[in-house]
Structure 1
Amino acid sequence: MVEEKLPDQSDSRSRVTMSGKASKAEPITDITIEKEERVKTKMAEFNRVLGGGVVPGSLVLIGGDPGIGKSTLLLQVSAQLNQQGGKVLYVSGEESAAQIKMRAERLELRGTDFYLYAETEISAIQGTIEKLKPDYVIIDSIQTMHHVKIDSASGSVSQVRESTSTLMQIAKMNEIAIFIVGHVTKEGAIAGPRMLEHMVDTVLYFEGEQHHTFRILRAVKNRFGSTNEIGIFEMRNGGLKEVLNPSQLFLEERLAGATGSAVVAAMEGTRPMLVEIQSLISPTVFGNAKRTSSGLDYSRVSLIMAVLEKRAGLLLQNQDAYLKAAGGVRLDEPAIDLSIAISIASSYKEKETRPTDCFIGEIGLTGEIRSVSKIEQRVKEAAKLGFKRVFIPKNNKDGWEMPDKIEVIGCTTLSEAIKKAFI
């Protein structure tokens, strides 16, 4: 006969802190607002994506493809938080404590109040949190967690929803920052119910290709900062290293004198980033011309090629077109239209653009170049990296201070921009 402790039958949905204080309704005039404090890690890129640092009591969901480095990132971040005096509980439902210790030693991570716990039962994890009272909790991963009151398999919709709900109550009532790792489907979305992304405070996607060393951490939801912020990391033998100047990274392998190349200053959140857009235009062998794009929206490329043919006189209907954003980054904002058009025209005409030219602007269907947002930050980033000329919409030239080291050329139409670019 073995004695087993039955789970507590009380209503777990009521919000109660570890000290026993229950949540209650209060008049709005009696509620005091404390200044939002953030804990900064040693990774400036990670702090940027979160909006300035880790917020106590926040619930952060990180998703990404298998083997992309989610566990490595969180292990490094939790070790840094531990070195700053925070108590960390790392809960793993996929690996044993010994396996995590081996990875920590490979990354040369050390800690004192750093606890490893291999468990999948959510009530046991809740009891351990109440006992240890940590400042930070990492759950790796939410799809392996199991709630004893739910009669279904781990990873099911009800299990994921109930486990996340329990963790959310723990985070909010006790000011514990909790990071949750989420698996993704083959389409790239986080597995489980869509409600999972609504429940958490922040949703981060860790992107990249296994055959490349660079990784991009992207915020798609953030209650404490800007969305669409990105942080760029490089995977090395000693773990993830942050890339502080991504513009230089994306341009350092650019060939001088090559046709079909144009540089754009794209905005990712609040950060301007210079990216090279490459095009290869060649006569089609078969009846229908082929269009292929990598890192760029296919519909956007087709639209710009139609405008080039109708408004700029380029005969592209019998040309195959292959386009990509160099470096593996994905661009989807309107300001990249002009650089796409210039790179296509450069490859079609077999004329190179100047290596010190940058192109920013949205293209309309009538061939006009429309104004874009945050033009000052874009131009300053181009000037900082040594660019001599920048082509922008003419309506964007007023209302801001232009840098001295770069020539700003305002363009009204696409034909005008093409003519000035190839002088």
Structure 2
Amino acid sequence: MTTKKYIQLILILGSLTALGPFSIDMYLPGFSGIARDLNTTVAKVSMSLSSYFIGISAGQLLYGPLLDRFGRKKPLFIGLLIYILASLGCVYVPDIDGFIFLRFIQAIGSCAATVASVAMVRDLFPVKDIPKVFSLLMLVVGLSPMLAPTIGGYVTEDFGWHLVFLILMCMGIFVLVISMVGLPNNYKPDTSISLKPKPIITNFLSVLREPQFYTYAFTGAIAFSGLFSYVAASPIIFMDVYKVDAKTYGWIFAFMSVSFIGSSQLNSLLLKRFSSEQMIFGALISQSVISIIFLFLALNNFLGLYETVIMLFLFLACLGISNPNTAGLTLAPFAKNTGSASALMGAIQLGLGALASFAIGIFVKDSVAPMVAIMSITTITAFIILNIGKRFIKNKIELGADDNIIVGH
């Protein structure tokens, strides 16, 4: 594969993956405007975030078998069309219930892009390159939480929140066009895969029974739910508790994502010296220590705006290191069932993320402490699951030093 083709594929796959984060982050500064225009509360508007996470989680399971059965392109294009129409619907929606429902449909559409991009990493690149490719994708994806809320803050303040959804619709059209033109069709549809519920469930269960899958999928997902907690809580924490305006909130959110991107790129360098397993272990130890210190500071009222930003910055840096490695080790055993495996991994991650964001909506009112408590619990739980799960992995499939998958004991 030429360097030019390599970069082109990374950029297209990155654009596919970025659609979800843009759809989540870009409208956050508009929460109070949406509440005002649709005659509701900010808490009710935040339900549209939970409905989006539920939609992505359910959609992951839907697209996994479809991508394996019909190839990567057809389900991807249909999903993007659903996304484009739902984004347009959000512009003209008359009430909050319709808005929450359309966000769910928008998520069902956008996650076709997410699942397809993860599955195509496994199709297009050798196994040893997977963590590196995921780290590069995170660089492209990482720009979205930097740009999205900042752009969203300016667009919302100057033109209103409706324009945000028109911009998302145009993004969907752009991603559809570049996918049609630039993505290779090298995956042959597997017609042996049935789309009846029983074989699909059996297929997912066979993936779930693989000890390497469930250990790293649940470790990664539970650790990563700390990020969902932060995203869901951030409009309340920064705009209600610390009283910053929509534009400043966008810049704070952008600054936070520098941590996540920077550490995921540092991960690429560290992988030359350490194994993925060592990186996950080190990141989770660090994340546990940081979250415990963070909780101590929150409970003793030692946190102002700047202290909260610093602690969140450090917390997110740990996730930037653990996430590409847990994803790589979760998918490593699956050469045939990649679509289903990546869908199930995503569904677990987003399902737990939806739960975390729902918990934030219930508990976070006028203090940082509930958010930090949820982050601490999830981090320590992930660390425990990693150490218990590793005992059940008999033949570990590692991301080896050459193209071959290495089976270790």
Which structure shows the higher strand fraction?
1
Q: Which has the larger radius of gyration?
A: 1
Which structure shows the higher helix fraction?
2
TM-score bucket of the superposed structures, by smaller chain: under 0.3
